[in-house]
Amino acid sequence: MRGLNPTSKNTMRNIYDYTLDELAREFRPAYRAKQIYGWLYHRYIDDFDLMSNVSKELRAALKESFSTQCVTILKIEQSVDGSKKYLFGTHDGHSYEAVLLQMREEQSGEKASEARYTICLSSQIGCRVGCAFCLTGKGGFVRNLSAGEIVAQVVHIKRDNGFAPQKGLNIVFMGMGEPLDNFENVVRAIGILSSKDGLSIAPRRQTISTSGIAPRIEQLGKLNLGVQLALSLHAVNDVLRSKLVPMNRSYNIREVLDVLRHFPIDSRKRLLFEYIIIKDVNDDLASAKELLRLLNGFKAKVNLILFNPHEGSSFARPSMESVRKFQEFLLSRGLLCTVRESKGLDISAACGQLREKSAC
């Protein structure tokens, strides 16, 4: 089956790798697949013996061929801001991280409205891109995650937090790895995540963050999946961006922006541009002016992200004064711009801080 992890030596197949249609072809009649999906994604049951409305014969067949334990939680850390970082272990002895972010809890009269959550998913163990400001790539690239290893992050996190199946969540592919470098598995995972018989997370609530693999952006656009796209821009000229994001040497700013002009987006949405602000590197008003020029003609939103420090980095976090000036300049010229609050800093769960780790 295309898109699965080719390095797997485990003879048991990860059931979370399978779409509903693929399971329906494995088991007849087809409604059996919906029953299995219901147990996996509505009740978060990962023990075939507990699937009580499934026949004993089918349960035996499932146990013989499939596993629900290809991914396990090794460690959970909780931040003072409510964020949780999950360390997952794989069947081949590697690990990767994902983060649950509590976005905000607004007051409505005397009652607090239900908190909104976003899950920041990883798509690879390590990363090939090697951005200068990011810790993830420092350990090098290990391998792609299979679709099931991506989907399992959501299942485990929903189960751990007791989230109801119908609870709305946002998904961002902004964890470890470059999602478009693992194109087939990420696309497959989006399909499984959005299945109405499964987790039912609408594509419009899923965002792919990319450093700018132009051909893959074009390919994703042609699929017209309905997902949102965010470009990790971080610099306004090719000289600086090539230093910060080495991929720029292959696909420069102009090439990537030209492809983005044709990317299909929901009429109610905007293309997102992520801009990590680094002290004395890209936090000046001249950069803000050039950013405004670059994004002219786009229905765009800019997320300003303060650089998150980590061990061994030579970069520094900018002052809030310089960040606010940058933001105010863009807003005053009509470009929607927000300062994105970094969550989970105290547990190294913020943007650019995830990496493969030991559970100890």
CA dist., res. 217 & res. 206, Å (int): 15
pLDDT for 346 equals 55
Active site residue 134: no
Nearest to 233 by CA among 292, 312, 172: 292
Encode pLDDT of 119-135 as tens digits.
Answer: 999 999 999 999 998 88
- Based on the fold, state whether residues 80 and 143 are members of the same structural domain: yes
% residues pLDDT > 90 (the chain): 78
- Based on the fold, state whether residues 63 and 81 are members of the same structural domain: no
On the question of pLDDT at 249 being above 60, the answer is: yes
Encode pLDDT of 192-205 as tens digits.
Answer: 999 999 999 999 99
Active site residue 114: no
Reading the block at residue 268, the tokens are: 């109610």
Determine the angle formed by the axes of helices 214-223 and 183-194, rounding to 10 degrees. Answer: 30
Please report, for residues 20, 254, 317, the alpha-carbon distance to residue 225 in angstroms, rounded to integers and kept in the order given. Answer: 17, 24, 36
- Based on the fold, state whether residues 203 and 60 are members of the same structural domain: no
- Based on the fold, state whether residues 183 and 195 are members of the same structural domain: yes
- Based on the fold, state whether residues 60 and 82 are members of the same structural domain: no
CA-CA-CA-CA torsion for 86, 88, 94, 97, nearest 10 degrees? Answer: -30
- Based on the fold, state whether residues 96 and 53 are members of the same structural domain: no
Residue 261 burial (C-beta neighbours within 10 Å; 0-12, 13-18, 19+) = exposed
Encode pLDDT of 141-180 as tens digits.
Answer: 999 999 999 999 999 999 999 999 988 899 999 999 999 9
Q: Which of 134, 337, 351, 356 is catalytic?
A: 351
- Based on the fold, state whether residues 215 and 78 are members of the same structural domain: yes
Instruction: Give the number of C-alpha atoms closer than 13 A to the C-alpha of residue 239, restricted to the C-beta side.
Output: 3
- The reply to whether 353 falls in a domain is no
Number of domains in the chain: 2
CA dist., res. 357 & res. 360, Å (int): 8
Contact (Cβ atoms closer than 8 angstroms) between residue 347 and residue 85: yes
Reading the block at residue 92, the tokens are: 């081949």
CA dist., res. 48 & res. 222, Å (int): 38
**Can you give the CATH number for the domain in which 37 is found?**
1.10.150.530
Counted residue by residue, the chain has a size of 360
Q: Which long-range contacts (CB under 8 A, 24 or more apart) does 188-194 make?
A: 188/3, 188/17, 188/19, 188/147, 189/123, 189/147, 189/150, 189/151, 190/225, 190/227, 191/19, 192/16, 192/18, 192/19, 192/147, 192/151, 193/151, 193/154
Nearest to 253 by CA among 264, 241, 263: 241
Q: Which of 97, 178, 274, 356 is catalytic?
A: 97
